[in-house]
């Protein structure tokens, strides 16, 4: 159980750090505006889905958690 506790503490610290980043900066300039994000705007309708942003964040978090699990 000791490795699980360490993992949860490190994950919590990372999440708090990310939360502070998003709180302190109004908008991260590159997130949500990557090529491949779906944005459709019509007269009375707007649809936005940050597809590539989700993939990039998923890859980044996968690498972080993979790195943390190796130590």
Q: What is the pLDDT of residues 17-54, one digit of tens each?
A: 888 877 776 666 766 678 888 889 999 999 988 888 88
Cβ distance 39 to 28 under 8 Å?
A: no
According to the model, what pLDDT value does residue 7 have?
85
The whole-angstrom separation of Cα 32 and Cα 10 is 26
- pTM for this model (two decimals): 0.55
3-class secondary-structure state, position 12: helix
Angle at 49 between CA 44 and CA 55, to 5 degrees: 170
Query: What is the rounded average pLDDT of the residues 11-19?
Result: 87
> Which tokens sit at 60?
């980044």
Residue 30 CA from chain centroid, whole number: 12
């Amino acid at each position: 159980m000791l490795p699980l506790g360490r993992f949860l503490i490190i994950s919590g610290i990372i999440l708090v750090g990310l939360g502070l980043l998003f709180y302190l900066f109004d908008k991260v300039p590159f997130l949500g505006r990557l090529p491949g994000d779906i944005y459709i705007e019509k007269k009375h309708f707007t649809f936005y889905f940050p597809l590539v942003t989700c993939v990039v964040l998923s890859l980044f978090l996968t690498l972080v958690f993979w790195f943390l699990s190796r130590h």
